[in-house]
Copies of this chain bind each other. A is one copy, B any other.
Amino acid sequence: MQLIDGKKISDEIKAEIREAVEEMCAKNLRPPHLAAVLVGHDGGSETYVAHKVKACEQVGFRSSLIRYEDHVTEKELLQRIAQLNADAEVDGFIVQLPLPRHIDEQKIIEAIEPAKDVDGFHPENAGRMMIGLPCHVSATPAGIMELLRRYRIETKGKHCVVLGRSNIVGKPVSVLMAQKAQPGDATVTVCHSRTKNIAEITRQADIIIAAMGQPEFLTADMVKEGAVVIDVGTTRVPSIETKSGWKLKGDVKFDEVAPKCSYITPVPGGVGPMTVVSLLRNTLQAAKNRKQE
């Protein structure tokens, strides 16, 4: 069994991005600039945005954090997005989700200029991804594909079972895995809450991507000997072992599943660190596209 070390790979990629930024600067181009819009003070959102800002620093990006209180109106937010769309000094930006209930998230997402939508949530990016055109692929699916690529895990002709059909992970990763590409070219089965005999299906899988958000859902009896297991779950469960009072649990019962696997991602330290890196890669790409204009 080999552990897929997302932390190590993400550090490698950060170093590569840093190099690319240095090259840009050597050519007297300004470094890529990522802006993040954060509404309110949700603990999770604060943490994620802080990670993103820190990652920008590590690779030499400029970053801006734009804060609003919970009571910001949809209109104010849309106006700010229009400014960011128009701002030639900003290559990409994200609006950290979730947003307060009085704001229509979908409307906000669709207001972002697709070329600057480095989260890859805009329908145009989702559609381009599905069709196989160049686009910003959303962070988690892009991170998963990159792990498979860097570990040279064969996917062609393999049976990949995706657990979950969310817009941000299950659907896009199932499309990417089936696409004529490397990694890709897999036979893909999408399972979800309505699937019957789920264990029967997962036992046929060469590769399992677990993204249901159900802690320790995937148990040893559901996994074929030698399978590759990618765990996308990150549920916070109460814990007396940590200072924070909680710890992250994946969708895979790691201790019993790991011994059966050829490769497996841990939680934390697997897919998680890759998501921030995917965001940086999209931003770098947006900046490069800008330079070519």
Interface on A for B, CB 8 Å cutoff? 106, 122-133, 135, 156-157, 159, 165, 167, 171-172, 174-175, 178-180, 185-192, 194-196, 201
Contact = CB atoms under 8 A, between A and B. Distances in A.
Given A124-B127, A128-B123, A165-B179, A192 B196 contact: no
Nearest to A155: B194
A106 to B, nearest CB: 7
B130 A130 contact: yes
Contacts of A126: 126-128, 130-131
B194 A185 contact: yes
Given A127-B130, A130-B171, A187-B195, 9 more contacts: A122-B127, A123-B123, A126-B131, A130-B130, A159-B196, A165-B179, A171-B178, A185-B194, A188-B190
A286 B100 CA distance: 32
A215 to B, nearest CB: 22
A187 B187 contact: no
A153 B123 CA distance: 30
A153 to B, nearest CB: 15
A190 B187 contact: yes
Given A127-B125, A194-B156, A132 B167 contact: yes
Given A178-B190, A194-B157, A167 B130 contact: yes
Nearest to A198: B187
Contacts of A165: 178-180
Contacts of A172: 130
A212 to B, nearest CB: 13
Contacts of A194: 156-157, 185-187
A210 to B, nearest CB: 15
Contacts of A157: 194-196
Nearest to A179: B165
A191 B195 contact: no
The CB with the most chain B CB atoms within 10 A, among A133, A172, A190, is that of: A190
Contacts of A178: 165, 171, 174, 190, 192
A188 B185 contact: no
A72 to B, nearest CB: 24
Nearest first, the 8 closest Cβ-Cβ pairs linking A and B are A127-B127, A123-B127, A126-B127, A189-B189, A187-B195, A185-B194, A123-B128, A157-B194
19 contacts: A122-B127, A123-B127, A123-B130, A126-B128, A126-B130, A127-B129, A130-B167, A130-B171, A130-B175, A156-B194, A157-B194, A159-B196, A165-B178, A175-B175, A185-B192, A187-B189, A187-B190, A187-B194, A187-B195
A54 B172 CA distance: 38
Contacts of A191: 187
A186 B284 CA distance: 38
